[in-house]
Amino acid sequence: MNLEAELTECEGEVTDWLADGFAKKEIASELGKSIRTVENLTNSAYKKIGIQKVSELTKWWFMTRFSISQYEIEAKKRALGMVFVSLFFAQDMKFLPTYQLTRQNNKRRTTTAAPSGKRRNEIDFETEIYS
């Protein structure tokens, strides 16, 4: 991915629309260009940037607009992953309260009357809190 790619004005405009989630057909309509022209501009921008997918374009767009390096993104991903893993293990080791679903007498209890907005025959589980 080339963060220093020099795009033409038209390519930049099309990449802005694509990064915002618009379809090529919508972009063509908004800019008053043919769909084929928008596709050519998109392909040209992709080659200059060195990407192949719209998701990569969105990542490139944010990185260039907010001056974020790829290393910062990878470091933040790793840090966030470590937080989630530590929370998972903390709960498994009983540092955090856990909730366990149990059934009384191994039978399903069903509701007989359904209040408005609820389904009939919902399974009614009791929860127990373990600290």
Q: Each residue of 48-97: pLDDT tens digit?
A: 999 999 989 988 888 888 887 777 777 877 888 888 888 777 666 555 55
Using the 8-state DSSP alphabet, how is residue 119 labeled? -
Q: Which helix (H) or strand (E) element contains residue 126? A: strand 126-130
Model confidence pLDDT, tens digit, residues 13-33: 999 999 999 999 999 999 999
Domains with residue ranges and CATH for the chain: 9-65 (1.10.10.10), 71-130 (no CATH)
CA dihedral (16, 41, 52, 18) in degrees, to 10, reads: 20
User: Does residue 15 contact residue 6 with C-beta atoms inside 8 Å?
Assistant: no
Model confidence pLDDT, tens digit, residues 102-116: 555 544 444 445 455
pTM of this prediction exceeds 0.75: no
Q: Which residue has the tokens 């022209």?
A: 37
Q: Which helix (H) or strand (E) element contains residue 58? A: helix 54-65
